[in-house]
Structures are given as C-alpha cells and as structure tokens.
Structure 1
Amino acid sequence: MSARQFSGARVRARRRELDLTQAELGAPVDVDRASVAKWEGDKSNPPAHKLPAIAKALQSPLDVLFPRDGEPDLADLRCDAGYAQSEVGPFIGARSHIPVSKAERGIERLKDAYVEPLAAAYGVSNQDLLRAQNRSFGVTETATVKADENSLPRTVGEKINYLLQAGYLTPAPSDEEIARTVNERAGQTLLTLDGVRALRAGDQVAVPLAVREGLGAALSIAPDVFADDADWQDMPAAIDALKLMQGFANGQILGLAARGNQQGASTEAVATINNLIAALQKLPGARPGG
C-alpha cells in the first residue's frame, strides 16, 4: 500500500482547472478514460508508481497533489521514481526484480552491491535508500525531540507544507479548503487557490496578519506558529502528540482504554497522557493549562 494519500476528488478538481478531459489526462499516464473516471469516483486507485506521472500531467508537485503519510519504505521510493517493480532488475544488474521484491517485502535485504545503483535510479542517497529498507523490515529510527535548526521551516509556505505533510492522521485539508477557510474567517477574499499554491511554492513570502490567522483556523493550529519569529524547535514532538490525540478522537488508538481498570486509567496510561499534554503545551501559541 502506498504511503501517499490519493483523492479522486482532488484529481478531478485539478483536471477541471486545467480544462483537461479524462482521456487527455489518461493518455500521458498510459490508461484509458474509464480508468481515470474510476479514480475520480474513488472506485479504484491508480497503481502507486503512476502517481508521479499523474502529478506531472496535472502540473502539480507530487507532494502537494498526493501528500505522504509517514516516511517512505523501499516500495514507496520505487513508486515515487515512477517504476513498476518488474522494471527494476536492470538497475541492479540482475536478471529479474526478485531481489528488490524480497527487500520490499522484508524477506531478504539488498546486497551491498545493489544499494548504490538502486539509489541512483530512484534519485535518492544511499543513506536514504538504506533507511527506507529498514522501514520495509519494520525497523524505524528513534525520533529526536529537537529538530535540526537548519531543517526547520521558516517561511509561511514552508510551515504550511510541513504541517500538511506531518500533522495529520486524517486526510489533510486541500489547497481549496485552506483558501476557503481563510476567506470565510476574514469575511472577504484574501487568499485565492493560486495564492495558496504561490505560498507553498515559495513564490510569495509577504503574508498579512489576517491571512496568517485564517491559516491557523484552516490547519487547526494556533496562528502564532506562522509568525516570523515563532520557535519551531519543539514542533516535531508536538506534531506527534497532535497526531496521537487525533487518533484518540477518531477511535484509531484504543490501547490506553484497554489498559485501564475499573478504578481508572493505568499508571502507564496516565504517564502517556501527561507526556502528550507536556508536548502540546510546547506548541507555539499554546497557553499553560489549556
């Protein structure tokens, strides 16, 4: 299963913006009109390795049109490079794709000699490929609480992208939804769809206060995070806490309730909840005790 979110409604809306027919979208992706109709009606999803071609045909960045859920494993890297599994054998000098298939399924790791050519074919570093392989085998790195200062988002657009890619268990709001929420909150048109895309692409950096406040409402977060001097050092930990809280709210995380007893939550549950609250309070703009 691809780690990228596919939305037929989002594809349909973007195709119509470009005034393309379903057949015109399908041609460069090598599928027929009926296949595109099924995608847009959420009756089927395209093969994950076709998502880059769909994004290109719709003139949209892959990460914007199909946001990623979590970090990529080996299959995700291959699909992001636009390759079916059957096509990758020649990249590693093998007669078939079986070595890659086994690695993707967590059966047998890639030979050392395969790492560099496969990374080059996928357009990633050797280290990124090895990290993805670890994920295919169920091995994840321990997250750090503090982010590297050089990697922190600085502009409003970078912050929007960070939150959309990292902050949601449920589907993230679309660019259209973000613009609509900003304008509804302001009672006037302050941000167009093209304006949201310009922000996310870094083409616009001057953002009025009213727009920043609307962005906070659209992304369900304190508007202070969009201030130029906001402290984002603790944001990764706070985002993890927010996603856990979403899981509780949506019924996706039930383990804590199961560990409780008739007298109340277990000691472990209380400790976990307290850790969540502490992380949430580190969010820029959060108020002590609430």
Structure 2
Amino acid sequence: MRRAAEITQTEVADALGVGDSTVAGWETGLATPDPEKLPALARVLKRDLNDLFPRYGLPNLADLRCDAGLYQYEMAAVIEMKSAGPVAGAERGDRPLRDKYIPALATTYDVTEEELRRAADRSIAEAEERKKGGGEPETRAVAAAPVATGSPGSLAEKITLVLTSSYPGPQGPPSDTEIADAVNAHAGSQVITEEGVHALRTGTEESTSPVVLDGLAAFLGVSPMYFQPDDAVARQVYEGLRLLAASKKGSVGRVKGRGMGAQGLPSDAMKFVNDLVAELEEREPDADE
C-alpha cells in the first residue's frame, strides 16, 4: 500500500514521528504499530482507517481514544486532572466513567455522549468477561473480532453479535462487501452498498429498510424477528449464539441453559439446550478443564 501510494518509508516515519527501521519492522511483520498510531498511519497511506484496519466489533473506551490518535497519558489534560487515572480505570473496566468527564472526552474523540457511554459499558462488560476466563478482546490492529458480551440492543450490536459468534475461526467474519453482495442477491437488486453495511455494523446508521433486514437475516442465518426491536427475541437469539460460539471453542460447559423468567426461552427450548450441552460434554468431557 505504501508503494502504491508512492510514499517512502522515511516519509511514513517522519509523519508518525518514528524511525525508518520502525516502519520497516511493521512492514516485515517483526513489530506492530501502537493502536494510537493507526489513524496517522492510515492518513499518510491515504487510506480510510476502517478500510486499512477493519474492526468487526463495536468500540470500547480504549478503541475510541486510539481512533482519535491519542495516548492514555494525554487524557489528563482533556479531563483537567493531574493524571489520566480516571480514564485508565474506566478503560480497564475497573470503574464506571464519571459523568463530569463525558462531555470533554466525547468532544475529543469526536463521538456523541451516548456513543461514549456505550463504549464505557462495553469496557466494563469486557472486564467481566476476562474475569470469567474469556481472555483479552482483540483490537483494531488485529483483524479477529472480539467476543460480544451482553444481550444486544442496537442494530449494530445485533449484527456484531452474529458476526463474532458465528465466525470464530481464523478466517473471521465476512467482509462488508460480501455481506452487501449477499443482501443484494437476496433482494434481486441493489438495496445496499458496502458503505451502507459498514454504517449499519458500526452504528453510524441505526436503521434500514425491511428488505435489507430480510437479506441480512437470510445471509447470517437468523430469524428476521431478531432484527426487530424486541428485547425478548434478542435475548433468546443471544443465548443460542452463546451456545453456538462456546461449542465451536470447546467450552460449551460454560453455557448452561438457565432460563430467563417470563420473557425467557420456553421450557421445551430450554430442555433442548440443556440436552445439547450434555451431549457435547459427553463427546468432549475435558473441554472445559
């Protein structure tokens, strides 16, 4: 990409404030750039950040900061504190982000306050997942999608949940182009573009036409009802996708059918889930050791 843009390693190094050898290390795979440098790297290579370094999951607090090209220590000045401790703690998911810091951070990251709050919630959810043994979520610098946590609410979260749960292998989820082509094929005409899929997946666009939702459901293998604003349906599909992802990772024992009260899965469905868990555990009894 650098050569296609007719840019030298020295020009990239100068633009990012690093040495020529550092850039050479990135290109040969011996080193990886800091996520905070990815926006500047995309700019100097004249490529869109999401095109050059795609993210399939929704951003957490650290992602938003890195997408703004800022290091954690720089946040002290933004929140007008002596240290960036409050931001660091919120990024780790150790504590909620205090309301008084939200306006300044949202402005600095060029996002809405609601987007910032949702990112903060994801940071806490990811910390809880790590405590349960879920491991570290991947960042934009790595193409693999992070594991979604919690029942999805927005359309973007619903799409992300299916992509991250149904495509856990090294190949990863389908690209925005592949999704757009499949939806258009299902509709029999062009109803969405690659850019449109990206906007829905990242939350830039929060709604779309019924024909697009039908195509998405058909391609992703879920019921069209999943994309409707029904929390009960979303929770049911979430439980099913968690089971699917766990079985593919050999950790199905962590997903016991528990039921979810009046709005949960019917008793016969819960019996099926538990029977399936038992069957998979019999096949691989040591999968959770």
Q: TM-score, normalised by structure 2?
A: 0.56
Aligned-pair identity (%): 31
Structure 1 equivalent of residue 267 of structure 2: none
Alignment of 1:164-243 (within 5 A): 169=168, 170=170, 223-224=185-186, 227-228=189-190, 231-234=211-214, 235=216, 239=220
| Pairing 1:267–2:272 present | yes
Match of 1:143 among 145, 152, 166: 152
Residue identity in the other structure for 1:227: S
Structure 2 equivalent of residue 284 of structure 1: none
Partners of 1:36 and 1:78 lie apart in 2 by 22
Partners of 1:259 and 1:138 lie apart in 2 by 17
Alignment of 1:28-177 (within 5 A): 28-138=15-125, 140=149, 142-144=151-153, 147=155, 169=168, 170=170
Structure 2 equivalent of residue 194 of structure 1: none
Residue identity in the other structure for 2:50: D
| 1:128 CA displacement | 0.7
| 1:227 CA displacement | 2.7
CA gap of 1:254–1:173, structure 2 versus 1, over 3 A, is: closer
Structure 1 equivalent of residue 250 of structure 2: 254
Contact 1:173-1:219 at 8 Å conserved across structures:
no
Task: Provide Cα deviations, 1:117-141, integer angstroms capped at 9, x if missing partner.
Answer: 1111111111111111111111755
Task: Provide Cα deviations, 1:203-247, integer angstroms capped at 9, x if missing partner.
Answer: xxxxxxxxxxxx68x978884367325922142695486x98996
| 1:171 CA displacement | 5.4
Secondary structure of the residue aligned to 1:233 is helix
Q: TM-score, normalised by structure 1?
A: 0.55
CA RMSD of aligned residues (A): 4.4
Contact 1:244-1:253 at 8 Å conserved across structures:
no
How many equivalent pairs are there? Answer: 202
Gaps of 5+ in 2: 127-148, 157-161, 192-209, 223-240, 257-270, 278-289
